Amino acid sequence: MVTRLNPYLGFRDNAREAMEFYRSVFGGELTVSTFGDLQMSDDPAEKDKVMHAQLETPNGLVLMGADTPSSVDYTGGGDLVSVSLSGEDVEELTGYWEKLSEGGTVQEPLTAAPWGDQFGMCDDKFGVHWLVNISGSPA
């Protein structure tokens, strides 16, 4: 079996909304289990929170996420981690960039980079940091 590194995003209480958004960006199949589904919380207010969500796309991307129980400190956002998308498919990666940056904050527009690729950085509307690099692509 191949070892995989899968980004796992933490949210306070909007994981379902975020993961549905990522499904609209990347396509694929989204599975969601709540704390109530798995009987993992005695707090009725937590029953609909997402304990685990997993998005698997047709081209092999896997993105996971969950809500944070109220009993656990939530530091918020992806201040220490960025999710990077890279490759050569200009149309696919540009499409991801456009959807991820819509409603978010662009730190660096998707444009020609000094190393010869197209590169951009943004925070999506959920505060997740994204980097997109399109190899060998003219601006």
* CATH superfamily entry for domain 8-67: 2,3-Dihydroxybiphenyl 1,2-Dioxygenase, domain 1 (3.10.180.10)
Residue 80 structure tokens: 């220490």
Tokens 């958004």 belong to which residue?
Answer: 21
- Reply yes or no on whether the pLDDT at 70 is more than 80: yes
* Cβ contact 55:22 at 8 Å: yes
Q: What is the mean pLDDT of residues 76-88?
A: 78
For residue 36, the cross-strand partners are none
Counting beta carbons within 10 angstroms of the beta carbon of residue 13, is it exposed (0 to 12), middle (13 to 18) or buried (19 or more)? middle
Residue-level pLDDT at 2? 66
Residue 66 has pLDDT above 60, yes or no: yes
pLDDT of residue 117: 93
| CATH number for the domain whose boundaries are 82-134 | 3.10.180.10
What mean pLDDT comes out for the span 44-69? Answer: 93
Residue 78 predicted with pLDDT over 60? no
Would you list the domain boundaries of the chain? Answer: 8-67, 82-134
- Phi, psi of 135, deg, nearest 5: -60, 130
- Residue 138 above 80 pLDDT? no
Helix or strand holding residue 73 (H, E):
none
